[in-house]
Structure 1
């Protein structure tokens, strides 16, 4: 999932700022007899769902990094059903369903679960999301009312060690299922993937 582009609208909630970039002092440790990626000064809360998560600040200061996604805010949106644009609830109070922009590829098969790393979008900010995230338009999107969703994986970078014991990236931004523990041990998660279920489709979104 790529980031946003500059628009005349607000800066999207999931878009990071330059001052929020932090050093990642990565290392490997032994956990249950197996090597596991960690930080040299790791805190217990930096693991969630069985994987180490990328560190980032929360100040929302400095130059906007339009082409990136803020790890913590993206994960928060996915877990709590928050809008990618404003950061507030994307749940309709009358139905309890979450508004989500999804690709038209699922049209005709709304009964099947659908994995996505794209956060929800409240109905009020669908237009802003399409303006700020052009890849959504490329998917000929539809707005769906989602009845349920649950975490199923992460987008992550995989790491290993070279012959001198230095930590090095081996794969960049690949999807990993939460049941793939052999990969999660070497992964640094950057975005959460959830599976949306019980969909009710709306009309296709007009191109902007």
Structure 2
């Protein structure tokens, strides 16, 4: 019987590696930690078939984090799940504007979703390096439209919103047109826990890279 948390995680990842091999799912070595973390979070090895990684997603994400990246989260569930202690060690911050009074007032006045207004506030902030969108498809759409209209692209977009209205379409648009590196999960599946898993896996890799360079 396995009871220690670290042993449970180690055994879980061993099982996941076996399942990936059994299904014939091959990923570049550098993205495997993220793939395994998403599978571990969802308990679903089939989800790996819909994960897509821009060729520069990992390198740009880690570089940004090591330079103290600020991360925008579309909802509080994403923001609360991030490894704040690890991110702080790298000098980074988390921003979530979904409950911001200015955002709420703008959403009420314009009839737009709070997620759209939160992205607009984040872009006006000019301090956001990584966008982690796990819940609101309209947040991803707003970001893509803003970049298309001339807003500076972020260092990395983690676009994994869940839903049956817009989610699959906007994620396909991200993969097709984004000038920024991205990580996405095609189709209707997604969610805050997946966004958190991806961000935390990147934070862990950035910390490991920093520690190895310090030795």
TM-score (norm 1): 0.26
Give 1 or 2: higher helix fraction.
Answer: 2
